[in-house]
Amino acid sequence: MQISTKLNRAHLITGEQALILPCLGRTEKDVQASGEQFVTVEDTTGVVHPSRGVLPPASEHLLSEPAIVGRMALATLGDRTGVDWQAMIDDYDRVREHIEHVVPGFTQYNTRVREPGGFYLPNGPREGRFTTSSGRARFTVTPLPAHDLGDGRLLLTTVRSHDQFNTTIYGENDRYRGVFGGRRVIFLNADDMRERNIAKDQFVDIVSHFGAERRRAARFKAVPYEIPRGCAAAYYPETNVLVPVGAVAAGSNQPASKSIPITLEAASAPVS
């Protein structure tokens, strides 16, 4: 299921069924029962400030993201949680009040976010303080992981293209890497390609290895690229299928999408 501001190619990469819920964009006015609303965003410097649309919505039937999430909660949870979902749909200040209660640094959220320029989130190092027992910075050394791949395997990382925002794909060109007109490509070191008798622009299947589990992403074009030997790269979400649920990073428990052991096989036959 995707909540989307506009149609994009990511809508074509789904499971057996896809549900696309169109929503208001941040440039469009969002009017709820209590009046015109705004959401808040954090910029790259850690400042939280309002974001308020000024354009009329593309359709009178469009819902906002908070309204969609709130309505789903009402439909599935009802009043069993003790949360007044409708109140948060009607007035986003109520959402910010709940955030203030549970997230450090958001004291008097609704008041401070309305001040010109917004407000800074707490940042100990910037403010010269550290939340350690000594009150001083503490450095740690993390050993580099050792990948003993063997068996002709490579280590695949997944990346975004230029015409992409997170998993939303707006175009099939990537001027960053000189790729145009398609995204089912795998970037390989030229020596690794020669060692495997893979020609430029040859189609291959990518097979991931996690324990006894094997997963396949079919028909990717091999592209020579300046990447270290033993490494490979491809776009996501096309290669999300290669990462099983259990393949996660130690500590963070995040999907190991930057460290996928793979082998390359002759390409599957194209779908007629």
The pLDDT assigned to 80 comes to 87
pLDDT tens digit sequence for 28-44? 999 999 999 999 999 98
- 54's torsion region: left (phi>0), alpha (psi -120 to 50) or beta? alpha
Q: What is the pTM of this model?
A: 0.69
Q: Which of 251, 255, 229 is nearest to 242 (CA)?
A: 255
| pLDDT attached to residue 271 | 57
Query: Over pLDDT 90: what percentage of the chain?
Result: 74
Question: Which amino acid, one-letter code, is at 28?
Answer: E
Average pLDDT over residues 137-149: 87
Assess whether pLDDT exceeds 70 at residue 171: yes
So where are the chain's domains? 2-127, 154-266
- For domain 154-266, give the CATH number: 2.40.40.20
Query: What DSSP character marks residue 191?
Result: H
